[in-house]
Amino acid sequence: MQVLYLSVYAFASLFPYSVKGLQKASNKPNKIVVFVPGYKEDRIIVETAKQSLLQTYPKEHFEVVILADSFSAETLEELAALDVHVLEVAFENSTKAKSLNKGLAHFADQRPDIAVILDSDNIMASNFLDQINRGYNAGYKVIQGHRTAKNQDTDFAFLDALNEEIGNSIFRKGHRVLGFSSALIGSAMAFDYFYFKDIMDDIADVAGEDKLLELKIMKESQLIEYFEDALVYDEKVANAANFSKQRTRWVGVQLYFFKNYFLDGLKELFLKGNFTYFYKIFQFFLIPKVLLIGLLGLFGLLSVFQIVSPIWLYIAVLYFLALLAAVPRRYYSFRLLRAIANIPKAILFMVMGILRIRKSTASKFEVTEKGA
């Protein structure tokens, strides 16, 4: 069933998609606050802050806010010399959601229109805020931008970039082509400011805040639009160990939300007819794409030797074709073959990491080292 589900959206992503209403939307500038939460991100935050200011959007209409949790005095001094607002935050148990709520409360009195959320390693394309502003003027309250790779300097960074783009094709563009909301991805997101503040109010002690945020949006049947041309560049993990650490955390968060919200999803479906909410919780049940490659590859091989049913070979071929369809054409090169060759190593590290998943995985603001 999962293979059919992913394949439908992968092949749907091959069709063109354009956001409705953008051509008629005005260019009236709105007040935008760009929040960049970071926890001990001294290595990259200063460069992120500098790059965030390089927008074609009118400077007087946007502000970059660094939510600085546990930064060094030297980093804070460097940030203070830039044209950004630094809001220091501190918590006994730090989470991204807590930092965002502090920032949202701090700026609420200024009555901004739009909140943009970045990760501390994200770099916006120079026209990103222009596109978000036009989307807001077209009436969209929740917009997911196109997060894409900033670096592809190692085989694992390239593999990570591929994985992100496949996710964009399936869970964002493919879903919009077929009329469903885009999935959120945790950064490169934009919201109507006070809508975002309201739904974030009781989200605090959870690391996968984007998952809970998405559930609340789905519960309200609010559309999440996807802007494929609104680019944000994200730093990719450089080696197998960091790839494993990052994916292990994601799987832990996914399991947490499926376990704790599945019954609520059934209630919403059968008592209120809210299919979109249940549908989102169903996605938490999906096996990670990389692990599924290993499982289906194994069963496909066993079917060749007639150890299991031949249908497994057909299922494996369908899945592999769907993944290839979801890969943007610009990634088709010799490096794609090298990345595929690294998949067994990625699977091994993921399995080892998943076996170490702890209950606390979904309640910590952890840092994944991405660079080499």
CATH at 168 = 3.90.550.10
User: Looking at the domain assignment, is residue 83 inside a domain?
Assistant: yes
pLDDT bin (cut points 50, 70, 90) of residue 19 is very high
- Residue 295 confidence (pLDDT) above 90: yes
Q: In this predicted structure, what is the pLDDT of residue 366?
A: 52
Give the pLDDT of residue 368: 52
Mean pLDDT over 305-318 rounds to: 94
Model pLDDT, residue 360: 45
pLDDT of the residue at 357: 64
**DSSP string computed for 188-230:** SEEEEHHHHHHHHTT--S-S-HHHHHHHHHHHTT---EEEEEE
In a domain, residue 306? The reply is no
User: Is 297 part of a structural domain of the chain?
Assistant: no
pLDDT at 365 over 70: no
For the chain, what is the domain count?
1
Higher per-residue confidence, 364 vs 226 = 226
Continuous H helices in the chain:
2-12, 45-52, 73-80, 96-107, 128-137, 155-167, 175-177, 193-200, 209-219, 240-272, 275-283, 289-304, 311-326, 334-341, 343-354
Closest CA to 335 of 188, 149, 122: 149
Residue 200 lies in a domain: yes
Query: Measuring CA to CA, how many Å separate 263 from each of 208, 260, 287, 372?
Result: 19, 8, 19, 42
Mean pLDDT score across all residues of the chain: 90
pLDDT, residue 227, reads 98
Cα(182)–Cα(142) distance, integer angstroms: 10
Of 30-34, 159-163, 363-367, which has the strongest mean pLDDT? 30-34
pLDDT value at 133 more than 70: yes
Report the pLDDT averaged over residues 270-280.
90
Q: Is residue 261 part of a domain?
A: no
Mean pLDDT of 286-303: 91
Residue 246 lies in a domain: no
Question: Does residue 139 fall inside a structural domain?
Answer: yes
Tens of pLDDT, residue by residue over 30-44, are: 999 999 999 999 999
Question: 256 lies in a domain?
Answer: no
Range of the domain at 59: 16-241
pTM here?
0.91
